[in-house]
Each structure stands twice: as structure tokens, then as C-alpha cells.
Chain A
């Protein structure tokens, strides 16, 4: 039984310690500096900021916008 108690205590120390270390690691490696730049890492030249990357199958958004404009319907005015 004492083996399990030691295991649990050790896991608590390791988990707690790893959380503190993660915070320390992030702070010292610049993860919290220039944060607004960090938000852009999910974009690249192929899928840049401003590009919609998901549509219903078979839907061409540009054509759809033209069609809606011709019919006098509201078109997409996005804030990027």
C-alpha cells in the first residue's frame, strides 16, 4: 500500500513541478513577449491572413459573391 502512496505523492510533485517549470520555460523563452505576433503563426504564405480556408463543398465564394451582388443581395464585407 505504501508503494501506491509514494507513487501518488511523487506524481503530485512531478505534475506540480512540471506546471511551474512550463510557466518558467514559457517566460524565459520569450513565449509571452511579442504576443500579437504569436497569433499569426497559424497563417503562412499559402494560407495568409484574409483568406477564408473552409467552404461548403462545391461552393466558390467569389462566384457566390458576384451572384449575390447581381441579385442586389448583401455581400460579404469582412473585417480582417
Chain B
């Protein structure tokens, strides 16, 4: 068999082996994205107009009273209050959408880069099912008023345990894949994925232990809270987004990454600096000055891996920007990579005490978090879905026009949202 045919066969076998588990992760993630966005829309509207759907309309209430158990209408009315719908939005989007879609992409990338068909697909699928069981229970608990009231860790301990277990299965699977990979160089995306799959269970387990099982007292709890909250973004979503970008950009345009040395340097610099950043959420809080200052220093040091990554992606794309006209994946991923630079530099600047005094507790922070999780992470994940799904199912996307509409509505939407929230936040502060 000629070399190119053998390579195509190997890729096809790898893709076929990933079909069920990866599609399970993608489909459930998209479901939670829709649900989470709806929660976000209601929460946002209620923040500005608390009287918005304060209770279900009389005709709907009477209809529900006829066909559902007693108390359903009261439960729904209570679920729609801001204090419940807002954490439900965050958790549905972060743990329902962002985590599973990242896992789906990570599973596919690991199989592709290890160049072996997916090992133990049932285990990966079981982890996906378990994760979604945890999500349904968790969101149900939040809507019925059972939140722990700790941001990013609102799920009660038994739900956290389900998610932890599911994640641990994926981590163990990743180690097995890595051990059984075909010999050769370990690509930078694998470094990012392996690191993310190691870091997150450790972060999640430790944070839950220190907040739920043996709760840290007083202001120390806030440190644990934001150590986890920021690291969930920096040591979990960021490495997965970058792993995807480091694969997709060179692969789509057919050009090796500009400087592979810089990509490795960026990885180790991120590993060194990101884990210290959480303290900048507590500027002005009743905490030792050295703790906040060291966090501010680390936040500014993050400029190094961010600029390194930005230069690397830009120089890889240089001379190939016209391909953006033809590739849906590239459009989303390049938009995401550019947003990563912007979000990270903005984040570093927000750690300065002077700016933080103005922007803290305002919409500016909300704009920043959406620039990170939506404009960067989600856009890259959309790009990956456009690349991976046709290869898994052996079918092309139905409509190029719908993909273009998807891209431009997302791009205009997030740019408008971030700009408006940023300006509004500065006025607020």
C-alpha cells in the first residue's frame, strides 16, 4: 500500500474509534451550551429588571397545576430567581459545555497524536455518561436552592464527587493512551492536554476538600475559592484551548508551527506562572499584602507565555491569512487565538491595583470572563467541532452558509457584548 493511502487508512481508523465517545461529549456539551445560555439570558435580564418573569403566567400556572405534582409551579417560580439562575448559568456553561467539549476534543487529539485507535472507548463513554448524570443532578440541586454559595464550586459535595470520578477515569485513560502511543516525538498539544488532565482533578479534588470536607475558615476560604476559580480557567480551559490551536492552525494551513521552541517555552512558562494568579481576585480583601502582591507579579509575568504564543500563532499564519476565506475551522480558531492574547493581556492589566480599584465588582470583569471563556475558548472549540465531526461521521456539514452565519453572529455578538460590558463597567466603577 502506498504511503499516503496507509496514512489515510490509519487516520480513518483512529477517527472511527473515537466516533461514539467524542460525539457523546460534543452532543451533550451543545445541549448544555443552549441550556446555559438560556439561563444566562434570564439571569442577565433579571439583574436589570428583577420583575421579569417573577412568576409564570396564570394560564401556564393553571395548565401545570392540572398536569404536574403539587408544588411544581412554586418550584419553577423559585428556580427563576436571580440567586438560583445565575449559578445555574455559570455551572451549566463551565461544567456542562466547556468541560465536556474540551474533553471531546482532547480525546480525539490524543488518539490522533498518539497515532493509535482509541483504547477503552467504553470507559471514555461511561465517563461521559457519568459526567452528564452529575450535571443533571447538580443543576437540579442549584435550581431547587441547594447551592453551596461558593462561586465556581456551587455543586454540593456528592455532585462534585461524581464529576471528579468521571474526570479521573479520563485522566487514567489518557495515561494509558500515552503509554501505548506510537514511538516518536511528543507534540506540544499532547503536553498541554496531559497537563490539563493532570491538573484539573488535583485542583478540583483539593478545592472541594478544603471547602466542603474540612472547610478552611474565614478569609482563607476565599483564597482557596479563587485559587481554584482562576486555575479552572488557567490550568484547565486555557491548556485545552491552546492544545487545539497548536494543532488546528498548522494542520489546516499545512505549515508547521513557526517556532516549535517558542511553543515548548510557552507551555513551561504557563505551567510556572498561571497557578499563582488566583489571588488577584481578592485585591482589597483582608489578606496578607505579600500574598496579593505575589499574585499580581505572577499575573504580569503571564505576559511572557501569552506574547510568546501570540507571536508564534501570528508568524505561523503570516502569508496564509487568505485561507481564512476558505476554512471554517481556521476562522473560528484564529478568532479564538487572537482573543486569547487580548483576554490574557487584559487580565494582566486588571491585576494592577489602580485599575482593579475601578473595575472590581463591575461589569468590566464579566466582560473579561466572557472574552476568555467565549471569544477565546468557545470559538476555538467551535472550530474544532467543524473539523472533527465530518471526520468522525464520514459526512460533510450540510450548509456552508449556516457555518458563515454561525461565525459572524458569534463574532459580532461577543465583540458587542465585551465592548459594552467593558465601557459600562468603567462607568460603574
Chain A interface (Cβ < 8 Å from any Cβ of B): 1, 4-5, 7-8, 11, 15, 18-19, 23, 26, 31-32, 35-59, 61, 64, 74, 76-80
Give residues of chain B (273-330) contacting chain A, Cβ–Cβ below 8 Å.
Answer: 318-320, 322-323, 326-330
Partner of A45, one of B4, B113, B184: B4
Residues from chain A with Cβ under 8 Å of B398 in the complex: 57
Is the CB–CB distance between B397 and A57 below 8 Å?
yes
- Chain B 370-385 per-residue mask, 1 if CB under 8 angstroms from chain A, else 0: 0000000000000000
Find residues 1-58 in chain B having any chain A CB closer than 8 Å to their own CB: 2-8, 10-11
**Which residues on the A side are within 8 Å of B169 (C-beta)?**
none
Select the stretch in B126-134, B252-260, B348-356 that faces chain A: B252-260
**What total of chain B residues lie within 8 Å of the partner, measured CB to CB?**
59
Query: Within 8 Å of chain A (Cβ to Cβ): is B226?
Result: no
Given contacts A35-B260, A38-B260, A48-B254, whether A11 and B403 have CB atoms under 8 Å apart is no
Structural contact, A41 and B185, CB atoms closer than 8 A: yes
Would you call B399 an interface residue if the criterion is a C-beta within 8 Å of the partner chain's C-beta atoms? Answer: yes
| Contact indicator A38/B187 (Cβ below 8 Å) | yes
Contacts A8-B206, A57-B397, A57-B399; A39 near B256 (Cβ below 8 A): yes
Give complex CA distance A57, B390 in Å: 10
- Given known pairs A42-B250, A48-B254, the reply for A56 and B328 (CB within 8 Å) is yes
Cα of A80 to Cα of B319 in the assembled complex, Å: 8
Q: Looking at the assembled complex, report how far the CB atom of B188 sits from the nearest CB atom of chain A, in whole angstroms.
A: 8
Interchain CA distance A56-B2 in the complex, whole Å? 28
- B residues near A76, Cβ cutoff 8 Å: 322-323, 326
- CB-based nearest B residue for A25: B186
**Contact status B214-A26, CB under 8 Å:** no
Q: Which residues on the A side are within 8 Å of B251 (C-beta)?
A: 42-43, 47, 53
25 pairs, CB–CB < 8 Å, chain A vs chain B: A5-B214, A8-B209, A40-B256, A42-B251, A43-B251, A43-B254, A43-B256, A45-B2, A45-B6, A46-B6, A46-B11, A47-B251, A48-B254, A49-B256, A50-B254, A50-B255, A51-B254, A52-B253, A54-B327, A54-B330, A54-B386, A55-B326, A57-B396, A57-B398, A64-B326
From the candidates B6, B185, B199, name the one contacting A37 in the complex (CB within 8 A): B185
* B4, B263, B326, B328 — most chain A CB neighbours (10 Å): B326
- Cα distance A3–B5 in the bound complex, in angstroms: 56
Q: What residues of B have a CB within 8 angstroms of the CB of A61 in the complex?
A: 326
Q: How far is the CA of A26 from the CA of B268 in the complex (A)?
A: 12
B256 and A4 contacting across the interface, CB-CB below 8 Å? no
Q: Mark B195-227, 1 if CB is under 8 A from A, else 0.
A: 000110010011001100110000000000000
Do A52 and B326 have beta carbons less than 8 Å apart? yes
In the complex, are the beta carbons of B322 and A46 less than 8 A apart?
Answer: no
- Confirm or deny: B247 has a beta carbon within 8 angstroms of a beta carbon on chain A: yes
B335 at the interface (CB under 8 A from A): no
In the assembled complex, how far is the CB of residue B287 from the closest CB belonging to chain A, in whole angstroms?
A: 21
Q: How far is the CA of A76 from the CA of B319 in the complex (A)?
A: 9
Please tell me if the beta carbons of B400 and A52 are within 8 angstroms of each other in the complex: no
Contact of B400 among A35, A46, A48, A58 (CB under 8 A): A58
Residues of chain A within 8 A of B11, CB atoms compared: 44, 46-47
Is the Cβ of B202 less than 8 Å from the Cβ of A53?
no
Given contacts A41-B184, A46-B7, A78-B253, contact A52 B328 (CB under 8 A): no
Q: Which residues of A contact B260 (CB under 8 A)?
A: 35-36, 38-39
Contact assessment for B261 and A46 in the assembled complex, using a CB-CB cutoff below 8 Å:
no
Taking a contact as CB atoms closer than 8 A, the residue among A32, A35, A41, A44 that contacts B7 in the complex is A44
Shortest beta-carbon distance, B258 to chain A, in Å?
9
Q: Is the CB of A54 within 8 A of B387?
A: yes
Tell me whether A4 and B209 are in contact (CB under 8 A).
yes
Q: B257: which of A39, A58, A74 is its contact (CB, 8 Å)?
A: A39
Residues in chain B near residue A8, CB distance under 8 A: 206, 209-210
B264 within 8 Å of A (CB atoms): yes
The CA of A15 and the CA of B231, in the complex, are separated in Å by 15
